[in-house]
Amino acid sequence: MRRSSTAARSPVSVPRRITAAASPRWTRRASSRCWTIDAATPRNAWCPADSRGGAGGTMGTGLDLPLDQVLVGDCIETLRRLPPASVHAVFADPPYNLQLKGELRRPDTSVVDAVDDDWDRFTDFAAYDAFTRDWLAECRRVLRKDGTIWVIGSYHNVFRLGAAMQDLGFWILNDVIWRKANPMPNFRGRRFTNAHETLIWAARGPESRYRFNYQAMKALNEELQMRSDWFIPLCTGSERLRDGAGGKLHPTQKPEALLHRVILSCTTPGEVVLDPFLGTGTTAAVAKRLGRRFLGIERDPGYAAAAASRLAAVEPVPEAAALALPSKREQPRIAFGVLVERGLVPPGATLTDRHRRWKAVVGADGTLRCGAAAGSIHKVGAELQAAPSCNGWTFWFLETRDGRLRLLDELRQEVVAQGG
Amino acid sequence: MRRSSTAARSPVSVPRRITAAASPRWTRRASSRCWTIDAATPRNAWCPADSRGGAGGTMGTGLDLPLDQVLVGDCIETLRRLPPASVHAVFADPPYNLQLKGELRRPDTSVVDAVDDDWDRFTDFAAYDAFTRDWLAECRRVLRKDGTIWVIGSYHNVFRLGAAMQDLGFWILNDVIWRKANPMPNFRGRRFTNAHETLIWAARGPESRYRFNYQAMKALNEELQMRSDWFIPLCTGSERLRDGAGGKLHPTQKPEALLHRVILSCTTPGEVVLDPFLGTGTTAAVAKRLGRRFLGIERDPGYAAAAASRLAAVEPVPEAAALALPSKREQPRIAFGVLVERGLVPPGATLTDRHRRWKAVVGADGTLRCGAAAGSIHKVGAELQAAPSCNGWTFWFLETRDGRLRLLDELRQEVVAQGG
DNA sequence: TGACACACTGAATCAGCCC
DNA sequence: GGGGCTGATTCAGTGTGTC
């Protein structure tokens, strides 16, 4: 089995399988259908939310706001029991309403393990919209006047989410693109690789005096303003929680790096972050580590138990502000086609080699043609020279109007200088 | 400044200011409220759309589809006059419904030239939604059954656009992120730098057999699948059309590189691209340059004139350059039996897979036999692997006399190279 | 221990033609 | 329109096993 080093790096120690024996003793709250788990209690030593010990509690507000806990129950029903204007931030990763037909196979005929869970099935857009409006409205009620909300989705659902948010009075501040470092390819070659997801960041309303930790975000981005496109890898490897068979415990676990940036951007230590679709607890785990309070709602007892177990092992950092992850500067990798798109090498232009021995015509898609040879600048260069390989960048020249030859690599440098 | 050679490549030369003297002589079409400009006619020598000369015309379809022209008029009203199922692709950059309160100022107190034109004011979401549904519905009617539509927007309007598209029956294929190389910073430091816009790419419906030039997109991206996030600079410098005072002629002129990729991805030369919000004609200019037909609708006569002027100066690239490399799907089909007939794979030869796990004997009729399995190279490959399907061309190898393995697909390429 | 090959995986609305 | 057959199609990364 893989993942031998998991425990060392991230001492999550999720039970291999949530069995009856290992399960928490679920405790029913008085006058409530909502089960709770105090996430700060040690593993296998559960206590109900209304116990006042440990990190859990109601924050001394007089309001019945359970804190640092996983509430097990229906999202909307549970939200309705929370007091109004009580949380500083919401992060929500709702069902995406994917509409998959058959199975999908990779070119090597292996089967893709897709999201086909019951919780992601809705009869139609109307049903999805109604559900969306309901939980968003409750989140808005629970959100403090100057709080903000983050919602994540893909093209299947994000337009409905965003429209519903605007209709409910939320004031969109940004849409943020999570660019995936390692997305799953499009196996049939019928679309662009679906390489991102969209987060919507919104204030409760247009007048909200929301928090934005500008300097923290700038520091995370090598002293440049943080942009609305974030490049973050998928949650894989030892960070990913596993079930008993070594498979993924949850189909859509989000990377902690994503939540780190979200929580750091709009909250300060001690504030409360609510996640109405907690899943396996990424939001809560990062919030706890960054010294924030959290409150999670999860319908599935198995996921809730895994989240609680994971949370119990999270140690808050001494100083949240010190946690600026150095961001990797991305190396711009320039494709020849980009020079064509941008008009530096127009389609139909002729390229030649240093000795003007060959001439090749540039296609609109960045391919070259020279006699029977067609393909990339590298491939055609190699074929003409009968060489096993060729660096097209340093082989091909563009003839300028005045008869000078300009090496492609020179032109590429101009694009690199522009940032790619 | 980048791209000092722009003028040479794209001699746009828009008039500094559209004055009465320089304006086209607008011609009213019979029984129509719609003014037209034939974009292919020389600058300052306009003619009405129903003249049949030049590149304009109705494509000989018998339908009244004006081509290679800028129609001046209300978007929805003009769309209603176009015949159904007549265009291959739509690119739409609708008003953004921005809701800026007052002026936006940079830290140095200079005023940002924001989008505040009349055409971008909508009283509320309901009015914007109604407008959106109307023009989208007309575009859907005009779109051919297997055509696709691109719509671009920012967080202010894109969620409403996407939801409306889904409600109207469009089938979203991708949302694509245009990551701006040089976005305007957030001057107040109250949000993330808004560094992208979103494009929605959709088929007319779920059953549409749309075109996606997979290989062309892959070629544009150094032989890796094109992703859904595109890094392209803003339209600046000499590409940007200027008004008489040297300011921006149009507030949201899109870069030609963006349209290059859009049009190349989903059309083939000769097909028709419609832009219902043409503005200063970027879509039409790139379509013309890439050998596509176009049709633009623009309400503002000044923009339309600038677009027409710009278009008159665009030279289509040579036909060969406009063609993308054909994908394998479009190559002539060779039957395996042809390889047998020609002796490239002699009858009685033994084929094997990459791991030499199975061996199969070739029949004179191009069928394979392996134990009980018999049939085509595909069928036998699938049966042996217990897979639902198999590409025999990339599964089976022929063992050569010296013990090397040669993939059937390689042998097929030899036949293709000989002209089938 | 290192180098290398190979197997496995991830929020996916994933085919097209001919009869 | 349904059924059947051909055949097009994957990237970055982690983990495991072998030499």
d(CA A46, CA A18): 14
Min Cα–Cα distance to chain B from A171, Å: 10
Query: Which of these, B148, B132, B228, lies nearest to A154 by C-alpha position?
Result: B228
Q: What is the DSSP letter of B116?
A: -
Contact A158, A92 (CB under 8 A): no
For A335, which of B155, B222, B290 is closest by C-beta distance? B222
Min Cα–Cα distance to chain A from B206, Å: 11
DSSP E strand boundaries for B320-396:
350-352, 359-362, 368-370, 373-375
Specify the nucleotide whose C1' lies closest to residue A250 (CA).
Answer: C11
pLDDT tens figures, A333-348: 789 999 999 999 999 9
Residue for token digits 């419906």? B205
Residue for token digits 């024996």? A21
**Topology of domain B6-327, per CATH?**
Rossmann fold (3.40.50)
d(CA B309, CA B305): 6
- Cβ-Cβ contacts under 8 Å for B254 (sequence gap 6 or more): B93, B152, B235, B282, B283
User: In chain B, what residues touch A190 (CB-CB under 8 Å)?
Assistant: 212, 214
pLDDT tens figures, B172-212: 999 999 999 999 999 999 999 999 999 999 999 999 999 99
d(CA B109, CA B127): 34
d(CA A98, CA A281): 22
Nearest chain B residue to A226 by CA distance is: B192
Cβ separation A179–B318 shorter than 8 A: no
Average pLDDT over residues A288-309: 97
When mean pLDDT is compared over A7-16, A50-59, A86-95, A334-343, the highest value belongs to A86-95
Exposed, middle or buried: residue B230 (CB in 10 Å: 0-12, 13-18, 19+)?
Answer: buried
For B162, which of A159, A183, A186 is closest by C-beta distance? A159
User: In chain B, what residues touch A109 (CB-CB under 8 Å)?
Assistant: 385, 387, 389-390
d(CA A146, CA A160): 24
Contact A218, B193 (CB under 8 A): no
d(CA A283, CA A277): 10
Nearest chain B residue to A160 by CA distance is: B163
A361 CA – C16 C1', rounded, Å: 32
Average pLDDT over residues A274-299: 97
Cβ separation B193–A343 shorter than 8 A: no
pLDDT tier at A20, thresholds 50, 70, 90: very low
B168, B227, B289: best mutation site toward chain A, by most A Cβ within 10 Å?
B227
d(CA A192, CA B226): 6
pLDDT tens figures, A349-388: 999 999 999 999 999 999 999 998 999 999 999 999 998 8
pLDDT tens figures, B93-123: 999 865 444 444 444 555 555 555 554 445 5
Average pLDDT over residues B282-306: 98
Specify the nucleotide whose C1' lies closest to residue A107 (CA).
Answer: D9
A175, A184, A398: best mutation site toward chain B, by most B Cβ within 10 Å?
A175
Cβ separation A192–B225 shorter than 8 A: yes
- Cβ-Cβ contacts under 8 Å for B140 (sequence gap 6 or more): B149, B168, B169, B170, B204
Where are the alpha helices (H) located in B64-202, listed in sequence order? 75-80, 125-142, 158-168
For A192, which of B176, B183, B191 is closest by C-beta distance? B176
Specify the nucleotide whose C1' lies closest to residue B172 (CA).
Answer: C13
Of B39-43, B83-87, B368-372, least confident by mean pLDDT is B39-43
Strand, helix or coil for residue A377: helix
Whole-model pTM? 0.86
As given in the structure block, the two tokens for residue A53 are 């010990």
> Is the C-alpha dihedral spanning A366, A370, A375, A376 positive or negative?
negative
Q: Is residue A219 scored above 60 in pLDDT?
A: yes
Query: Which of these, A284, A265, A288, lies nearest to A276 by C-alpha position?
Result: A284
For A376, which of B190, B219, B387 is closest by C-beta distance? B219
Residue for token digits 């000044």? B302
Cβ separation B212–A190 shorter than 8 A: yes
Contact A199, A175 (CB under 8 A): yes
d(CA B162, CA A192): 18
- Cβ-Cβ contacts under 8 Å for A402 (sequence gap 6 or more): none
- Name the superfamily (CATH) of residues A18-323: Vaccinia Virus protein VP39 (3.40.50.150)
